[in-house]
Amino acid sequence: MKDPRQAHRALKRDLEAGAWIGRGYEVAQYQLHEAVFFGKSPVVVSRFTKRWRERGYLFVERWNRVGMNRLRLTSKGRDFLLLHAAADTEDLFVPARAVAPKDLAHRLWINDLRVVLGRMSPKPELLLPAWALERRFVPRLPAIPDVLSVTRGGASTRALAVEVDLGGEPLRSVFVPKLAVLQDVLQGMSKEGSAAILVLTSSDRRRDTIAALTSNLDGSIPIAVETLPRECGRDGLLSLERMFNPTVNPTSQPEAEKARCFS
């Protein structure tokens, strides 16, 4: 056994990066770069990834063996974070397997939203993806959004629920009724503030259909419907960011590194 004084150094940014990965279930390396290492060279992120993989804190896999790096926290990585009080146990996920290909596009969009909403000003007090909401609320909420952002400003609270719709659910019988239930959930959460739902969907046609079908729902919790960006990777992040903040300058970001798009 090693002397405890020989343990690996706990760098503050490494702990922040590990916690961000653990909260995201599985994330792409470009997402980690933008969320934790923003403005730093890609070499800095690669060194972190290599260092934590070698220590057994991360699983690192390539999409189709040639694409983007997919990062997952290991149980050893979780224990390291908990030892240094970098996160709470219930916030960290240690998946035994990589996200299935059929679910990967949805998971990537959700973590893209974690990046973009996490950079909003004022910064959200609470920013949780669906898998964290499922764990946190007992009994389970009757409708769980893909991302929930809660921001406090003075005495008021603003809640934003985001749904990523990739066209896999029937609109009339499943998706739109879920939005109606989600309105009720938000109504209960935001008694002293405001709330809204944003739907990001896969095509302009589906966007228009959802907008028409939701036009008669409860207007006290407004529902906005937009089309997902056609771009992926950093380009996709920038497009999402302009959706929330139209003043973002597209030239203010470094040249986009192309990540594979999933449809």
pLDDT value of position 251: 46
What ranges do the domains of the chain cover? 1-99, 100-263
pLDDT value of position 41: 94
For 179-202, what is the mean pLDDT? 91
Domain 1-99 matches domain 100-263 at the CATH topology level: no
Mean pLDDT of the chain: 89
pLDDT band at 229 (very low <50, low <70, confident <90, very high): very high
- Residue identified by tokens 């290909």 is 101
Q: What is the percent of the chain where pLDDT is above 90?
A: 77
Residue 7 scores a pLDDT above 90: no
pLDDT digits (tens, 9 = 90+) for 22-65: 999 999 999 999 999 999 999 999 999 999 999 999 999 998 77
CATH of 1-99, one of 1.10.10.10, 3.40.710.10, 3.40.50.10190, 1.10.1750.10: 1.10.10.10
pLDDT band at 6 (very low <50, low <70, confident <90, very high): low
pLDDT digits (tens, 9 = 90+) for 143-155: 999 999 999 876 6
Class of domain 100-263: alpha beta
For 8-27, what is the mean pLDDT? 94
For 105-116, what is the mean pLDDT? 97
pTM: 0.89
pLDDT value of position 258: 34
pLDDT value of position 259: 33
pLDDT band at 252 (very low <50, low <70, confident <90, very high): very low
